[in-house]
Amino acid sequence: MKVRKEDTPSDWGCLVRICFFILGLGTLLPWNFFMTASLYFQARLNTSNVTANGSDVSDYSKYFNRCMTLLSQLPLLLFTLLNSILYQRISEVIRIAGSLIFILLLFVFTAVLVKVDMDTEPFFSVTMATIWFINSFGAVLQGSLFGLVGMLPQKYSAIFMSGQGLAGTFAAMAMLLANASDADSKSAALGYFITPCVGTLVTLCCYLLLPRLEFARYYLNSSTKYEAGATDELLTAESSAADNGKLGSHANGSVAGGPNKGGASEDGEAGGSRPDRSKEAFLSLEQVEKKQAKASIIQVFKKIWVMAFCVTFVFTVTLSVFPAVTVDVKTSSPDFRTALSGNWERYFINVCCFLTFNINDWLGRTVTTLIHWPRKESWLFPLLVVSRVVFVPLLMLCNVQDRSHLPVYFASDIVFTVIMALFSVSSGYFACLSMSYAPQLVEAKDAETAGTLMTFFLALGLSIGAALSFPLRKLV
């Protein structure tokens, strides 16, 4: 007897899709807003002051991008690992809602700091500490949400990652508007950092709305349904065992009490050949318990290791050059005038680096809601992922300044933009496919574990890429 399944409810008004899109947007807002604000931080950290004895003050702006990358990816890796191990011991509400609240408070603090005058050294230290803590909470948030969305159909994973892709575009557009505004630099920066505060608050509201949506409850309460299903199957098995025991006792009694003298020997022969129903029922109980128990992390990893490798490699390649190398590319047309009240040099990095990357990364993630090629079983999938390594030398040979070793082969702004577009669209596409394929390779009861594990390998790729960005930048 199988457990009767209730009819799957519909996603009324696409509210669950919208919520997970916004949740994806909210997970990467912190990282993207700090990354696209690198020009603001560099301007504030760049100093021409001299000390009393005439020696130059340390120019922290030179180290900001690399330190920001490192101090954002290390806590991301560490806390994603901790979340992968401890996620079953800490309430989901605490992990997700708590992380969003702390991220909101840290962004409010960063916005307030815009109006506070500080020396470069303490400002640098406070900013790095803020980056560390924001990414620590962001790691727990991202890992928990990937585990959550892994319980839903595949398209919701793609929608979630599409939201993540839009986070970068959102941040790049906000910075572009801040630079183009007529407000003074402090007011523009204040408005820029208030934006993610509002975004994080909306993300928190979307998470709190999910338990009120029937479609979300149907999938996200899967653990309760599995326990109920196990109970039903166990009761059914026990009932069958009891019925079989009664039937056996009745049969034995009727034969033993019969007038046939050969009944005993026939009964004995029949008893020797008759299967032991109670033992069969007992074995079915063990099978039911084994079926309902969640697989271990090692067992899940053995099923998803190819996707884990793919997502690690995708982000290793991406973070090895973006933004540590690409942010130092200079325009070959610095005197070109734009319609945005200023010369092209002022907007070049925002448009050709950050905006181009984030729009195409979002496009690559969004395409996966319609196209799933190559298939998850195809050997071509990891091959194409590995082939992305070609973008590393291509971007290093663009007009990166200052440079000491490699020549410039692609000085044109257009060539750099095209390379960035292909680089980013492939990053978003293969990363999203890897993350959405993994939960499909395991049973539904292990989907959350698969999603949480994949988040760890995503963070591992980011950390490896961040570490490689230091030697690669020096190699240029």
**3-state secondary structure at position 56:** strand
**And the tokens for 391?**
């973008």
Residues 348-367: what's their mean pLDDT? 91
pLDDT, residue 391, reads 97
CA distance 432 to 380: 16
Q: What is the CATH number of domain 13-47+59-220+294-475?
A: 1.20.1250.20
Q: What percent of the chain has a predicted confidence (pLDDT) above 90?
A: 37
pLDDT for 134 beyond 70: yes
Q: Enumerate residues 6+ apart whose C-beta is below 8 A from 257.
A: none
Q: What are φ and ψ of residue 471, in 5° steps?
A: -65, -35
Measured distance CA(467)–CA(71) in Å, rounded: 10
- Give this prediction's pTM: 0.72
Q: Is the peptide bond before 323 cis (omega within 30 degrees of 0)?
A: yes
Q: State the pLDDT confidence band at 420, using cuts at 50, 70 and 90.
A: very high
> Which of 186, 129, 137, 109 is CA-nearest to residue 29?
137
Q: Which residues contact 300 (CB under 8 A, 6 or more apart)?
A: 442, 446, 449, 450, 453
Confidence band for 397, pLDDT divided at 50, 70 and 90: very high
Structure tokens at 407: 């020549």
Does residue 341 have a pLDDT over 50? yes
Neighbours of 100 (CB within 10 A): 24
Q: What is the pLDDT of residues 155-194, one digit of tens each?
A: 898 899 888 888 888 888 887 887 777 667 778 888 888 9
Predicted confidence at residue 222, as pLDDT, reads: 55
Mean predicted confidence (pLDDT) in 203-207: 95
> Could you give the CA distance from residue 308 to residue 330 in angstroms, rounded to a whole number?
35
Q: Cβ of 65: how many Cβ atoms within 10 Å?
A: 20
In whole angstroms, what is the distance from residue 368 CA to residue 362 CA?
A: 10
Please give the Cα distance from 449 to 147 (Å, whole number): 6
Tokens standing for 53? 């004895």
Higher pLDDT, 261 or 468: 468
> Over the Cα atoms of the chain, what is R_g?
29
Over the stretch 207-245, which tens digit does the pLDDT of each residue have? 999 999 999 888 887 544 434 443 344 445 445 545 555
Do the Cβ atoms of 286 and 410 come closer than 8 Å? no
Residue spans of the domains in the chain: they are 13-47+59-220+294-475, 223-248+276-293
Could you give the CA distance from residue 429 to residue 420 in angstroms, rounded to a whole number?
Answer: 14
Write out the two tokens for 195.
């934006």
Residue 271: pLDDT band (50, 70, 90) is very low
pLDDT range class, residue 340, cuts 50, 70, 90: low
Greatest mean pLDDT among 78-82, 124-128, 423-427, 472-476 lies in 423-427
- The whole-angstrom separation of Cα 289 and Cα 377 is 30
> Residue 43 corresponds to which amino acid?
A
Do the Cβ atoms of 225 and 153 come closer than 8 Å? Answer: no
